[in-house]
Structure formats: structure tokens, C-alpha cells
Amino acid sequence: GNSVTQMEGPVTLSEEAFLTINCTYTATGYPSLFWYVQYPGEGLQLLLKATKADDKGSNKGFEATYRKETTSFHLEKGSVQVSDSAVYFCALSPSWGSGGYQKVTFGTGTKLQVIP
Amino acid sequence: SQTIHQWPATLVQPVGSPLSLECTVEGTSNPNLYWYRQAAGRGLQLLFYSVGIGQISSEVPQNLSASRPQDRQFILSSKKLLLSDSGFYLCAWSGTGFGGNTEAFFGQGTRLTVV
């Protein structure tokens, strides 16, 4: 079946540091890939997405590139802010013809804490 | 535009009491619906998903059940709550049909504390 693996957290960074959160996946065909963010006490919000190989999703200074050859979708940001402190989830949605339902599969989440 | 409503936002229930959490979606038809649980300090655990009325798939054996009495209504229930049922419950929906680009949209969550 499909699966998503994220790096273990928590990740603690100083403000303006560079961020990388690793995400790799296992799926047949060409799934769509997503990053979601969850701020304390809230539901998840879509941060960015990519629907085909070599696509780059970007939003609010965050970027992630769909790498088919390494089955990865790592999240990056050049300069994090305290307001970026949250839990980040990598997720995938199956592709056409892969069979089964359009069930979205999530990773376990990575908590990011940015300190001033 | 599509919206998802989930209630209540917080709930404190005694052990052994019943549970009913409700989720409704507006602005779309025949969505896939999901219930997730997030235990303190842990990731998302998919509990149930549904592709249509009366069609429920359970991901893990547990003390909970789900029902979908209407196309855009998804209910999470328990007959007798356990302490281990405490957590943050999230309802979500996504589009249906084959093909990629099917993102999930989440409600604001219900914080359940079983005492």
C-alpha cells in the first residue's frame, strides 16, 4: 500500500535559519504530493502541493520539489520565522489508474519550533 | 465554495459515556470523508474513511464507529468511552474519482478529554 515517511521531530531552529524537513513516499504510479501545516489547537491547512514529477510547489516562502527518482518531497524554507512554529505533515494522493479509493495518506508529522 | 463544519470544538466526557461527533460538508457532492485522531504529541491516525452513503472503511480496530447517513454528513460515535479515546479528532473531505490532485480539507477539530 501507499506510505509516507517523515523525519522525526521536534526540529528546533533559530529565527532566520534554513529549514529542511525530509519526506519520502511509497506509491504506485504518479501520486500527487502535499505539505500541510497545523498551528497549535487548529486543524490542518494545505501549505503547498505538486502533481507531477519535477513540479515545485511553493507558498509563504516554503518550497518542495517532486522528485520521482528519489521518491521524495522535502520541504524547505530559506529563513524561518517564529510564526512558522507548527507541525508539518507530508501527504500523498494516489494517481489515476492506481486502483482503490482516493484516500489521502499522511506522514506522522514533524514539529518545528523556531526560537527568537 | 466548499466548507467543512465540525462540532463540538471541545468536549469533556466521563469514562463509559457515549460519544457523537458530527461533521458536515457544504458546497460539494459525493465527497470522500475521513476521521482522523491525533493523540497528544503524535501524528495523524486515520480512523475511518467513506466513499459514499453507508460505505465505511475502518483502518484500525478500536472502540469507535462511524456512520454516513447522508452524502455530506459523517458521524463518529462510541457507546462507551475509554480514557485512551482522549485526543484531537479531525474530520476531512476530499474529492472523489480517479486522478491525482485530490487534496484533503480539514475541519477545525474536536478536543476530546475523557475523564
pLDDT by position in tens, chain B (length 115): 888 999 999 999 999 999 999 999 999 888 989 999 987 666 788 899 898 899 998 887 678 999 999 999 999 999 999 999 999 999 999 886 544 567 888 999 999 999 9
Instruction: Please judge whether B42 and A108 are an interchain contact, meaning their C-beta atoms are less than 8 angstroms apart.
Output: yes
A115 at B interface, C-beta within 8 A: no
Which of A32, A36, A109 minimises the CB distance to B102? A32
The C-alpha atoms of residue A115 and residue A58 are separated, in whole angstroms, by 23
| Tens-place pLDDT, residues B15-46 | 999 999 999 999 988 898 999 998 766 678 88
CB A111 within 8 A of CB A10: yes
The pLDDT value recorded for residue B13 is 97
Interface size, chain A vs chain B, as Cβ–Cβ contacts under 8 Å: 84
Q: Degrees (nearest 5) of the Cα angle A98, A43, B72?
A: 60
Window 6-45 of A: residues touching B by CB (8 A cutoff) are 30-32, 34, 36, 41-45
The C-alpha atoms of residue A52 and residue A78 are separated, in whole angstroms, by 24
Q: Kindly list the residues from chain A whose CB atom is less than 8 angstroms away from the CB atom of residue B102.
A: 32, 93-94, 102, 104
The pLDDT value recorded for residue B97 is 54
Q: Kindly list the residues from chain B whose CB atom is less than 8 angstroms away from the CB atom of residue A46.
A: 103, 105
The pLDDT value recorded for residue B99 is 47
SS3 sequence of B47-100: EEEEEECCEEEECCCCCCEEEEEECCEEEEEECCCCHHHCEEEEEEEECCCCCC
Q: How far is CA B107 from its chain centroid?
A: 9
**Running DSSP on this structure, what letter comes out for residue A67?**
B
Instruction: Please judge whether A32 and B100 are an interchain contact, meaning their C-beta atoms are less than 8 angstroms apart.
Output: yes
3-class SS at B34? strand
State the 10-residue block means of pLDDT for chain A, 116 residues long: 87 97 91 92 91 94 96 97 95 67 81 96
Cα separations in angstroms, A40 against A27, A83, B52, B104, B109? 30, 11, 31, 19, 11
Per-residue burial over A3-23, b = 16 or more CB atoms within 10 Å of its CB, e = otherwise: ebebbebebebeeeeebebbb
